[in-house]
């Protein structure tokens, strides 16, 4: 009987790496002639076997490894990644690792992400003539096949093909969905083990030969065969991320990074997820979920959509500064939400871990994240310290005196001297959600948690108040559709331009945004028919700046003051004043007691007529350019009403 490790080499004893204990029994069997080095083909349902066989025939791997999800397996893969130089141990912590990627592969690539449908209009709105669409990219079925044929044949030669069975959502939840990711990256396997429920239980769930979302991933090999950084193979020139909703299928080539390669996340839970949700009558959204308990012990759950790198993880794990309040975290990035039989909106977090932005995270801003990431965490593109720890912008006060810093590119780095940031701005930690000290007791409830409010928000340096409430559900849907935010390092966009990012979903829609709006509008009726109410909708902005470029609001834990106002509004307190854009807190109704910094309330809540006239015009232009045929009338009416109200200011 060959030993599992015999099929992986080279494997020198790695310093500081976890000890290998027992390894799973390897049974030498095969699928269509491809040897299986872990697991057995008999574990796979007929449909999974077919999918694996087809993928192997296309990609021509040396061998197949059916992932079981065990700790032994994970340790073995980490040891192998270490020996290949992909990751290095961080002995300051417990089972933590640092990966450095090829500098050409550091973020999602929105321009190379496509939705494939028979007709273009199913996937994306048709923009006005001469205008470039900015609500996703469409690819025809023919070009989809060609894209695969130009990249995948033989792309796993010399590599192991991992078969990763995973569940988005708790395995037993009726709201969960199952996927199989096929990948040639052990880094992806280990990250998927953190981010999803992964392993043999999922195969058991598929034993009835039920369907699953097909996720094929390869880091690829450049066309000239030359891999510039062997520890991080990728093919940036030909990277492509494809989705075919009709077949519940994802095909991703060329990148090993984040949302490009951890296919359960944006590709499945949002793009494919939103198309399944549309069919089945629920919502798949780019939202955090938090529970907040007030000083009376009354608990409510809130979901919030902010664009990438705009504060979801921070809000989800917040330490409230307002006395007597408690926040608990259900999820930090994705919410699957459905009205139950009583018309109550319920949400699950389909993920099992956090893939969080590192820079800016510190004991001062997000102590709960800092406590989450000291064991079993994979860091990517952060800086390291000579005492075996990590470093990034924002951690200056936590540096042990005298330590040396190595930046994300592996070069020596000196605070206040080096020109470039120590950590890549989109560097990330990948940590199990269960390790979060304030994880909500109900975070894995099969039925999901009841949602009382939905928040939209973004980085708006000007004009947009700290918080305002929508007048109605359809006004709230309009606010979501008109969301704008400064671009961040989470994708390939350069500079800090204000971009439209409706529902924080611009990069993640799986179908035409006009149909998506219609679907959202229809939710109110869905709630009413079941005897319930749709939640209240709010817009928040932690990022408004004064004339000198300084944030007007301290943010982070102080955002509890805004949540306090929001839950008082949910409880029906009349603590608001009506304005043309919606309801803002009435004078003095935001609790600022004990705030250790003076805030300029007047500036924070001002609604400059000139700014809003321009905003209304720009939203109109956006709709006219991007959705000349697809904008629901109701949303057009909401904009016209807003315009009328602002003009009368
Ligand atoms: P994705 O994982 O990309 O979807 O991002 P996210 O929405 O979870 O963003 P995250 O919470 O990681 O925040 C991104 C950046 O915004 C970090 O550098 C934070 O420090 C910063 N940030 C978060 N909340 C606040 C806030 O209330 N005020 C200010 N000024 N900055 C904040
Ligand atoms: C985002 O960009 O919104 C993320 C990170 O959450 S990634 O998984 O790379 O999409
Ligand atoms: Mn995100």
pLDDT confidence band for 488 (50 / 70 / 90):
confident
Condensed to tens digits (0 to 9), the pLDDT of residues 22-53 reads 444 444 589 989 999 999 989 999 999 999 99
Whether residue 9 is predicted with pLDDT greater than 60 in this model: the reply is: no
Percent of the chain residues topping a pLDDT of 90: 93
Higher pLDDT, 25 or 592: 592
311 Cα nearest atom in ligand 1: 11
Mean pLDDT, all residues of the chain: 95
Calpha distance 289→303 (Å, rounded): 4
Q: For residue 250, what is the DSSP state? A: E
User: What is the structure's pLDDT at 70?
Assistant: 97
- What is the 312 CA–ligand 2 centroid distance (Å)? 11
pTM: 0.95
Identify which ligand lies nearest to the alpha carbon of 312: 1
Q: Which of 266, 311, 316, 433 to mutate to test the pocket of ligand 2 (most atoms within 8 A of CB)?
A: 266
- How far is Cα of residue 597 from the mean position of the Cα atoms in its chain? 32
Residues with CB under 6 A from ligand 1: 306, 308-314, 332-333, 356-357, 359-360, 365, 490, 542-543, 551, 555-556, 559
Q: Which of 304, 311, 358, 423 to mutate to test the pocket of ligand 1 (most atoms within 8 A of CB)?
A: 311
491 Cα nearest atom in ligand 2: 2
558 Cα nearest atom in ligand 1: 27
Residues in the chain: 649
Higher pLDDT, 16 or 110: 110
> Is 138 in contact with 116 (CB distance < 8 Å)?
yes
178 token code pair: 């199952």
User: What is the structure's pLDDT at 8?
Assistant: 52
- What is the 648 CA–ligand 3 centroid distance (Å)? 38
The CB of 355 under 6 Å from ligand 2? The reply is yes
Name which residue sits closest to atom 23 of ligand 1, judged by CA.
311
Radius of gyration for the chain, computed over Cα atoms and rounded to the nearest angstrom: 24
Closest-CA residue to 289 (of 213, 341, 345, 343): 345
Closest-CA residue to 150 (of 227, 86, 232, 58): 58
User: What is the structure's pLDDT at 7?
Assistant: 52
User: What is the structure's pLDDT at 496?
Assistant: 82
pLDDT confidence band for 10 (50 / 70 / 90):
very low
- What is the 324 CA–ligand 2 centroid distance (Å)? 33
- What is the 265 CA–ligand 3 centroid distance (Å)? 9
Distances (CA, A) of 210 to 44, 51, 244, 422, 624: 11, 13, 19, 47, 43
Query: Region 167-179: what's the mean pLDDT?
Result: 96
Closest-CA residue to 351 (of 519, 175, 207): 175
Calpha distance 590→14 (Å, rounded): 55
Identify which ligand lies nearest to the alpha carbon of 313: 1
Q: For residue 557, what is the DSSP state? A: G
> Is 73 in contact with 67 (CB distance < 8 Å)?
yes
Condensed to tens digits (0 to 9), the pLDDT of residues 364-375 reads 999 999 999 999
> Is 535 in contact with 452 (CB distance < 8 Å)?
yes
User: What is the structure's pLDDT at 493?
Assistant: 83
Query: Which residues are CB-neighbours of 381 under 8 A, at least 6 positions away?
Result: 99, 100, 101, 106, 408, 423, 424, 426, 427, 428
Q: Cα angle vertex 198, ends 192, 201, to 5°?
A: 175
Whether residue 250 is predicted with pLDDT greater than 50 in this model: the reply is: yes
Whether residue 494 is predicted with pLDDT greater than 90 in this model: the reply is: no
Condensed to tens digits (0 to 9), the pLDDT of residues 397-452 reads 999 999 999 999 999 999 999 999 999 999 999 999 999 999 999 999 999 999 99
Query: Region 47-66: what's the mean pLDDT?
Result: 98
Name which residue sits closest to atom 14 of ligand 1, judged by CA.
309
> Is 15 in contact with 44 (CB distance < 8 Å)?
no
DSSP result, 484-547: EEE--TTBS--S--EEE-GGG-TTT-SS-HHHHHHHHHHHHHHHHHTT--PPEEEEE-TT-B-T
- What is the 434 CA–ligand 2 centroid distance (Å)? 20
129 token code pair: 């003539």
332 Cα nearest atom in ligand 1: 8
Whether residue 14 is predicted with pLDDT greater than 90 in this model: the reply is: no
- What is the 259 CA–ligand 2 centroid distance (Å)? 5
357 Cα nearest atom in ligand 2: 5
Name which residue sits closest to atom 18 of ligand 1, judged by CA.
360
Condensed to tens digits (0 to 9), the pLDDT of residues 458-487 reads 999 999 999 999 999 999 999 999 999 998
- Active-site residue set: 310
Calpha distance 301→352 (Å, rounded): 19
Calpha distance 91→205 (Å, rounded): 37
């Amino acid at each position: 009987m060959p030993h599992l490790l015999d099929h992986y080499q080279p494997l020198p004893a790695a310093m500081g790496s976890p000890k290998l204990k027992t390894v799973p029994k390897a049974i030498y069997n095969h699928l269509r002639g491809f040897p299986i080095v872990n697991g057995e083909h008999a574990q796979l349902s007929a449909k999974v076997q077919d999918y694996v066989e087809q993928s192997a025939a296309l990609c021509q791997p040396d061998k197949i490894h059916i992932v079981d999800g065990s700790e032994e397996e994970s340790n073995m893969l980490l040891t192998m990644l270490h020996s290949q130089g992909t990751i290095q141990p961080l002995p300051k912590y417990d089972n933590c690792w640092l990966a450095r990627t090829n500098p050409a592969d550091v973020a999602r690539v929105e321009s190379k992400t496509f939705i494939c449908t028979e007709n273009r209009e199913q996937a994306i709105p048709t923009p006005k003539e001469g205008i470039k669409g900015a609500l996703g990219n469409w690819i025809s079925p023919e070009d989809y096949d060609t894209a695969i044929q130009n990249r995948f044949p033989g792309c796993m030669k010399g590599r192991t093909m991992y078969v990763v069975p995973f569940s988005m959502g708790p395995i037993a939840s009726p709201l969960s969905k199952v996927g199989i990711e096929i990948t040639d990256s052990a880094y992806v396997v280990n990250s998927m083990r953190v981010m999803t429920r992964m392993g043999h239980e999922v195969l058991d769930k598929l034993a009835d030969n039920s369907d699953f979302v097909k996720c094929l991933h390869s880091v690829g090999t450049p066309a000239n065969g030359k891999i510039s950084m062997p520890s991080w193979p990728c093919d940036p020139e030909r990277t492509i991320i494809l989705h075919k909703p009709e077949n519940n299928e994802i095909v991703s080539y060329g990148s090993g990074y984040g949302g490009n390669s951890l296919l359960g996340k944006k590709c499945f839970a949002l793009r494919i997820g939103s198309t399944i949700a549309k069919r089945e009558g629920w919502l798949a959204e780019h939202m955090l979920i938090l529970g907040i308990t007030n000083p009376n012990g009354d608990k409510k759950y809130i979901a919030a959509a902010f664009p990438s790198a705009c504060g979801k993880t921070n809000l989800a794990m917040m330490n409230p500064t307002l006395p007597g309040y408690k926040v608990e975290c259900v999820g930090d990035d994705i919410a699957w939400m459905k009205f139950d039989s009583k018309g109550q909106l319920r949400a699950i977090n389909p993920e099992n871990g956090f893939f969080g932005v590192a820079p800016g995270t510190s004991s001062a801003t997000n102590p709960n994240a800092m406590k989450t990431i000291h064991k079993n965490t994979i860091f990517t593109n952060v800086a390291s310290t000579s005492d075996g720890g990590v470093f990034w912008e924002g951690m200056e006060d936590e540096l042990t005196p005298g330590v040396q810093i190595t930046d994300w590119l592996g070069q020596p780095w000196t605070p206040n001297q080096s020109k470039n940031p120590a950590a890549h701005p989109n560097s990330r930690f990948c940590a199990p959600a269960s390790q979060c000290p304030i994880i909500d007791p109900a975070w894995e409830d099969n039925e999901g948690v009841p949602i009382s409010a939905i928040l939209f928000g973004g980085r708006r340096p000007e004009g947009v108040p700290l918080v305002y409430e929508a007048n109605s559900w359809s006004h709230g849907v309009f606010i979501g559709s008109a969301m704008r935010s400064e671009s961040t390092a989470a994708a390939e966009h350069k500079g800090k331009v204000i971009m439209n990012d409706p529902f924080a979903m611009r990069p993640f829609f799986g179908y035409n945004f006009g149909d998506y709006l219609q679907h959202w509008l229809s939710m109110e009726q869905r709630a009413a028919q079941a005897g319930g109410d749709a939640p209240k909708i709010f817009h928040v902005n932690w990022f408004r700046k004064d004339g000198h470029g300084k944030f007007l609001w301290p943010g982070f834990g102080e955002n509890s003051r805004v949540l306090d106002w929001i839950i008082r509004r949910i409880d029906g307190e009349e603590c608001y004043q009506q304005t043309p854009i919606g309801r803002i807190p009435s004078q003095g109704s935001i609790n600022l007691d004990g705030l250790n910094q003076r805030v300029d309330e007047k500036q924070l809540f001002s609604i400059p007529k000139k700014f809003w006239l321009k905003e209304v015009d720009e939203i109109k232009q956006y709709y006219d350019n991007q959705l000349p045929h697809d904008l629901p009338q109701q949303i057009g009416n909401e904009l016209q009403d807003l315009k009328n109200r602002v003009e009368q200011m």
